[in-house]
Structure formats: C-alpha cells, structure tokens
Amino acid sequence: MAADMIIVGDVGGTNCRFSLAQLNAQGTIELSNTAKYSVRDYDSFYDALAVYLGELNVHPNQAAFAFAGPKFNGAIRMTNLNWDISEAEIAARFGFDYVTISNDFAAMARGAAIMPDDSFTPIIDGKVNYSNPVAVLGPGTGLGVAGILPGKPLRILPTEGGYSAFAPQDDLEDNIMKILRAELGFVASEHILSGPGLLRTYKAICDIRGEAHIATQPDEVMAAAEANPKSTARETVRVFCNVLGGYAGNAAYMLGASGGVIIAGGVARHVGPFIAKSDFETRFKSRGKASWFVQNIPVRVLTAHSVALYGAAAFIGDRPLKA
C-alpha cells in the first residue's frame, strides 16, 4: 500500500501540515492521516517531518512538499521563517525515491484547479475558465500569489507578488501608509494583506483615531468586527477588503488573468462575509481607460481546506514539476 501513497506537506510561516495522499482509480486524490504542527516547536523542517513519519505505520517512497518561499535549483529558503530545504536533502535523510518541492502558492493554485465548484463562493459572478490564465492569491501569514497557465497538465507560475509595493487609494489608506512607512520603511502589499497585516492596519487606524489598541491578535480584530459594525475593528476589515479588491485587480492585470481570479487562504475565508459591504468590486474594476479588461473576469473565494496538500499531490502526477 505504501507504494501507492505519497507523503505531502504544506509548510507556512505558522504551521506545518502533513498528510498521506493516494490517487484512486477514479483519478481523484484522497487525503488521510492529516496532522498539523506549529513551526515554533521545531528547529527545522526535517525535525517536523521526522515526527510525522514516526507516527505512521507506512513509509511511502514518494513525497511532495510546498513551502512559503521561492524555489531555486531544487531548494527553497522560506520567506517568513529561517528554514532552508532541498529536495536532495529530504531524499537523503528519509530514503524517498522521488521528492519534489514547490512554492506553497504554486501548490495552492494547482489544488484550486481540481476543487469542485462547491469549494468556492462567488464574489464577482462568472465561471473560471482554465483555458485562459487564472490568478490565485491569498492572505495568510504572508501574501501568496501564483498563476495558472493553460496546458495539459496545467502549468503553474509561482511568484513572490506579495512583496510588490502597497499603493494606497484613499485618504485613510494614505494615513495608514505614513504610519507603516515610519515603522517598516518599505511597505509591501503583504504588510496589509495578511493576518499580521490585519492587526497592523487595526493598530494604525486606532492611532489615527486616537484610540487604544484593544485587540492584540488578528482573530481578536475579526471577533470585534463581527460583534460591532461601528467598531474600529469593522473599519479595519472594510479597509482590508478594499485593498484586497485592488490587489486582486492588480493580479489580474499582471498575470493577464482573463480566466478568473481565485482568492484562497484562511484569512480570506474569515473576511469573505464582509466583502459584499466593502468597495472590493469597485477597486477591482475601476481602472480608468483600461477598465474594460477586468469587467467580465470572475472572482471567487476558495473556502475548501487542505487545498495546497491536494495540489502537492497533483504535482507528483504532473511530473516533471516546473517551478
């Protein structure tokens, strides 16, 4: 049975998720034995993987892992975590016959393409068309961005687009930008569009309003926003959704994503219910004389879980992985 299974993993700046994946006779992927570990508890990826493998009674000979960082020459240095990983080292340490690693949002994009329709909530109506380029982006610990390009199998374009510069679009965002520039110097899009960015934005708006910082964690900001529509937390979420709409439009233009835009990740699931009452669609579509390009591009929020794990498993079937 181990020969039919794949060890898959999704490693971000906060958690490692591992699973056993099996491609069944129908060509779909099944996950089992999924486990989550905090990266703070381990000195390296290899330590976390050793713990997971020690809890299994099988040892597959193939493995596919996704990491939050760019891939060069079979190795990844993670963006928001001091971990370095290579395919060769994983194979040597654990005896796998075949190992592939990828950017986490490359795996998210590959997984999104095989998710059923009920895994999505529409923001701007329309059917995603994988015969044309599609953009996949999502706020989490950072901001991931990838492109899905047509082909058989689909081709995935990893990017580090989360570190593109933040561009404020109204007076409040100008003032938030001034505060963040003083704190950070360079202000990247992910400094707003991420879990830490949500908290950072909340603190900036509190400072602008002369209010105390009551919330101290992103989930506390979300809870306060849900409880009180007139709170600074709710205003923070509105700003977040507005900036997300603008950034999603940027991604559509930069990647030529006429086939659609998919917004993924845990933070997106949490803010999704607030998008309809924000200026998301206006920010996405209002582009001056170039606005025609995005008028008919569908946008969806991906609400399914473990998508990057499915994507990592799909990469095994897509060999060789180009990333």
Structural domain of 63: 2-111+306-317
* Tally of domains within the chain: 2
Q: Is residue 323 part of a domain?
A: no
- Evaluate if residue 2 carries a pLDDT over 80: no
pLDDT tens for each residue of 290-302: 999 999 999 999 9
User: Do 148 and 244 share a domain, yes or no?
Assistant: yes
pLDDT range class, residue 152, cuts 50, 70, 90? confident
- Evaluate if residue 27 carries a pLDDT over 80: no
Q: How far apart are CA 198 and CA 182, in angstroms?
A: 17
The CATH number of the domain holding residue 38 is 3.30.420.40
Q: How far apart are CA 300 and CA 130, in angstroms?
A: 14
Contacts of 87 (CB under 8 A, 6+ apart): 74, 75, 99, 100, 101
User: Do 96 and 7 share a domain, yes or no?
Assistant: yes
User: Do 126 and 107 share a domain, yes or no?
Assistant: no
User: Do 97 and 131 share a domain, yes or no?
Assistant: no
Q: Give the pLDDT score at 89.
A: 97
User: Do 72 and 206 share a domain, yes or no?
Assistant: no
Q: What percent of the chain has pLDDT over 70?
A: 97
User: Is the separation of the CB atoms in 137 and 251 below 8 Å?
Assistant: yes
> Dihedral sign, CA of 110, 114, 119, 123?
positive
User: Do 53 and 199 share a domain, yes or no?
Assistant: no
pLDDT range class, residue 141, cuts 50, 70, 90? confident
- Evaluate if residue 320 carries a pLDDT over 50: no
What does pLDDT average to over the chain? 93
- Evaluate if residue 25 carries a pLDDT over 80: no
- Evaluate if residue 250 carries a pLDDT over 90: yes
pLDDT tens for each residue of 153-183: 899 999 999 999 999 999 999 999 999 999 9
User: Do 202 and 86 share a domain, yes or no?
Assistant: no
Q: What is the mean pLDDT of residues 255-260?
A: 97
pLDDT tens for each residue of 54-109: 999 888 999 999 998 899 999 999 987 899 999 999 999 999 999 999 999 999 99
Q: Give the pLDDT score at 192.
A: 97
Q: Give the pLDDT score at 4.
A: 76
- Evaluate if residue 1 carries a pLDDT over 70: no
User: Do 137 and 211 share a domain, yes or no?
Assistant: yes
Q: Give the pLDDT score at 153.
A: 86
Q: What angle do CA 95, 98, 101 make, to 5 degrees?
A: 105
Q: How far apart are CA 233 and CA 229, in angstroms?
A: 8
Q: Give the torsion through C-alpha atoms of 225, 265, 18, 304, to 10 deg.
A: 90
User: Do 74 and 181 share a domain, yes or no?
Assistant: no
User: Do 167 and 278 share a domain, yes or no?
Assistant: yes
